[in-house]
Amino acid sequence: AQKITQTQPGMFVQEKEAVTLDCTYDTSDPSYGLFWYKQPSSGEMIFLIYQGSYDQQNATEGRYSLNFQKARKSANLVISASQLGDSAMYFCAMREGPTGNTGKLIFGQGTTLQVKP
């Protein structure tokens, strides 16, 4: 069965430093997508970055990059140059099937990130 694991309940990072949030996944489907979302205290889910299982290169979106290690089944989020506004809950999620399959998302437990000034 598909599963997403985030082993870091909470993380601290100094402002302007980089931080890595861990995510491992388990699936038997060769086609899948991996997502990272940010959830501030307001509760909205903000999409950050996406990695497809067949993508050859690691995804990047501004200060966010995804360290995709397929053999290890890991999809860690790297945030560079942390800002105070990055303090939030971060969720890793997976969707099985190709983009033509608009399947449901399975979420990890989340990691709370606090950025220190």
Can you give the binding site for another protein, defined by CB under 8 A? 33, 35, 37, 42-45, 47, 50, 52, 91, 93, 95, 99-100, 102-110
Q: For another protein, which is the closer residue by CB, 12 or 47?
A: 47
Strand, helix or coil for residue 85: helix
Residue 73 CB, shortest distance to another protein, in Å, is 19
Structure tokens at 104: 């449901």
For the bound state, the minimum distance from the C-beta of residue 50 to another protein, rounded and expressed in Å, comes to 5
CA dihedral 92, 106, 54, 61 (to 10 degrees): -30
**Alpha-carbon gap, residue 55 to 45, rounded angstroms:** 24
- Kindly tell me which of 65 and 91 has the beta carbon lying closer to another protein: 91
CA dist., res. 51 & res. 3, Å (int): 16
Beta bridge partners of 91: 37
Smallest gap from residue 51 Cβ to another protein (A): 9
Rank residues 76 and 108 by Cβ distance to another protein and give the closer one. Answer: 108
